[in-house]
A = this chain, B = another copy of it.
Amino acid sequence: MTTVLVADDQPLQRLGFRMLLESQDDMTVLGEAANGTEAIRMTAELHPDVVLMDVRMPGLDGIEATRRITATGDRTRVLILTTFDLDEYAYSGLRAGASGFLVKDAQPEELLAGIRAVSTGDAVVAPSLTRRLLDAYVHHLPAKTPTDGPEPTPLDARLTALTDREREILTVIGKGWTNTEIAARLHLAESTVKTHVGRVLAKTGSRDRIQAVILAYDTGLVRPS
């Protein structure tokens, strides 16, 4: 059963979503939020699998709400919806940690498929956006461009939020050390290690140390031996 929180300032729109989702026997709507602040509070309270997040809302908008929700390291995934396929929303939304970005005029089936996808950890992007998103992405990727070479460590944005100590912890996590080993070799109490690890997971949006290991490799913080 996928639990969903609907965040949209339009009551009628919320009702539409609720009707659609409740018609599915594998989905249930935990609640409705009318703005970003409510969405954050209700997410912390109800822990839905997925938050259906409208971009335009009075007060705290959907992008900022997404950023704060994903920053908690909670298991909740955010699927952003907007009326228009404006690029800047998509970019900032996905950078804010959203698992997906769809346009509101999509087919109901697309929306449902999108919710199911993000609930299992996958990501979805509206087809109308995919191409432009990919273009922008690959424009940032290539190491084979002869122009700019001085990029040894383009670390993931998620790593910049870490303190030095936390990055150190992430490094040894990436080496496969257990909490006990970390405590022994760094002359710390195991409880302290747990505190650090917990903060690293929260800040990087990793659900467990395995995800953190993968992140360490993907960002190059730890290199294959």
Contact = CB atoms under 8 A, between A and B. Distances in A.
Interface of A: 105, 107-109, 113, 120-122, 174-176, 178, 181, 208-211, 213-214, 217-218, 220, 224-225
Number of copies of this kind of chain in the complex: 2
User: Lowest 7 CB-CB distances: which A-B pairs, in order?
Assistant: A218-B224, A217-B217, A176-B210, A176-B214, A176-B211, A213-B213, A217-B224
A176 B211 CA distance: 6
Contacts of A175: 214
Contact of A213 (B121, B214, B220): B214
A174 B108 CA distance: 34
A48 to B, nearest CB: 19
Given A113-B107, A224-B218, A210 B211 contact: no
Nearest to A211: B176
Contacts of A174: 214
Contacts of A108: 109, 113
Nearest to A219: B224
Contacts of A224: 217-218, 220
A113 to B, nearest CB: 7
18 contacts: A105-B122, A107-B113, A108-B109, A120-B181, A121-B181, A174-B214, A175-B214, A176-B211, A176-B214, A178-B208, A209-B210, A210-B210, A210-B213, A213-B213, A213-B214, A214-B217, A217-B224, A218-B225
A113 B20 CA distance: 14
Contacts of A120: 181
A67 B105 CA distance: 28
Contacts of A214: 174-176, 213, 217
Nearest to A224: B218
Nearest to A215: B176
Contacts of A218: 224-225
A176 B225 CA distance: 19
A2 to B, nearest CB: 13
Contacts of A109: 108
A113 B122 CA distance: 21
Contacts of A208: 178
